[in-house]
Structure 1
């Protein structure tokens, strides 16, 4: 009888230890994964620096996957074109400033200005760069680029404004608000709902052609409509965000040509209170077959 009790207790002890070890392993793996995810912003910044500050081929090999997928219409896919681009950037002394960096899971979003950037389309350009990270490296890249505008309708630049990330616990809710805004207002399904999404008290505008506030937005819409040249949003490809910032990547038409619309929104108290954007024409022919989105 005593022997049986000892066996039972031994089995119980073994099972308990095994369970504890299993839980510890799961917890350890989870912490490693969370730590790795938290580090992706740092890796993205180091990759950006290797490209546009150090012009380092070793840095590119360290931070970019060999089968790097490119969606910039003018750059072939793969790591080789990235390496081949370095001498051009170095000769021009192309540099950058990151104004905002956000993370949504494996995606890193950078709101950048590029200087001496003729190779990117102008002396000074503004861009959104979106990277999909894989195993601690940049594996895929999307961007939208436009030239810097010195005088804007609102008096704000294309990149200034709030940078602090807050309300991280509201990321999913804010993404849903912006998604509904795009569908209802920008897609024109229910434009009368605009005040459900955009604050009537505070709306800072960074699009160069639009003034602050809902009145400024209404004025711009009225003018573009009178010219039969209103932005025509047709497809929403991605909604990415962190806390009070949400980026949408959409496809449509403007000026009679296919366009990519990247819109960054800042939210406060469940309303959109600030907006930045980059609009770029989608060329008929690209340097790869990956598409713009």
Structure 2
């Protein structure tokens, strides 16, 4: 199986079929877990599957992006009160090694009833295109993250995006460069200044580039899981899931 097929098989066994026996051979026994609430190791996930079934959680996968040994799923979980809210939008990231799933990261956020742009946190294009431009698009987005979000050279923002064409799915930010800059200013006024923004995982496939970043915002640790869509050499669309990093976890692996 390809990494994408392997991950989708594990995900179906765990969250759709609720079948630990089907999931077990797809997992490395030393499966490294970064979800703060689930113990590390394959058994930690296998033990959670019956609890998922009992809770009535359902999942919709909107996008699947894969590069090398990494696979990213853009998901919505319903009936997810056991994980903190009735509905949660998530990015799940898996790493495959030697034909089994070896590691998992995720970020979850409850979507609001209304958003500034009028879009949801998950709607929009899903088709992976421009496979031949994967490396080019990856370099573009990483440059944007380092220069603009990381603060290395924010004046270069128009090298990465058209100020008028930036379709936004973050629920509290409006479209375009103007919307992004206004949100950054508003966050600063609220004491939510970002003083660290360091990419930890980058996965690109064609027109989609995913970046998971370790951040400090308002003096506290946060995780930013962002997905960008690139078209004709410019970033044109953005989705994200943002969550604080808890101080206590069910393992010693950390968020990243």
TM-score (norm 2): 0.96
The match for 1:202 is 165
- Whether 2:242 is the aligned partner of 1:244: answer no
Alignment RMSD: 1.3
Per-residue deviation at 1:183? 1.0
> What whole-Å deviation, never above 9, does each CA across 1:109-145 have from its counterpart, x for those lacking one?
1001111112222110011011001233211101111
8 Å Cα contact 1:117/1:124 also seen in 2: yes
What aligned pairs does 1:15-164 form with structure 2 within 5 A after superposition?
36=1, 39-164=2-127
Per-residue deviation at 1:225? 2.2
Secondary structure of the residue that 2:197 maps to in structure 1? strand
* 4+ residue segments displaced more than 6 Å: none
Corresponding residue pairs, total = 256
- The answer for unaligned runs of 5 or more in structure 2 is none
Within 2, Cα distance between the matches of 1:75 and 1:218?
37
RCO higher in structure (CA 8 A, sep ≥6): 2
Within 2, Cα distance between the matches of 1:204 and 1:190?
22
TM-score (norm 1): 0.84
Between 153-162 and 73-82, report the one with greater CA deviation. 73-82
- Whether 2:235 is the aligned partner of 1:272: answer yes
Between 96-105 and 135-144, report the one with greater CA deviation. 135-144
Per-residue deviation at 1:175? 0.8
8 Å Cα contact 2:38/2:48 also seen in 1: no
> Per residue, is there more strand in 1 or in 2?
2
Within 2, Cα distance between the matches of 1:276 and 1:151?
15
Secondary structure of the residue that 1:170 maps to in structure 2? helix
Secondary structure of the residue that 2:50 maps to in structure 1? helix
8 Å Cα contact 1:249/1:261 also seen in 2: yes
Per-residue deviation at 1:233? 3.3
The match for 1:16 is none
Greater C-alpha Rg: 1
8 Å Cα contact 1:244/1:267 also seen in 2: yes
The match for 2:198 is 235
8 Å Cα contact 1:149/1:158 also seen in 2: no
- The answer for unaligned runs of 5 or more in structure 1 is 1-35
Per-residue deviation at 1:77? 0.4
- Whether 2:132 is the aligned partner of 1:169: answer yes
Per-residue deviation at 1:239? 1.5
Per-residue deviation at 1:42? 2.0
Within 2, Cα distance between the matches of 1:274 and 1:230?
23
Per-residue deviation at 1:232? 3.5
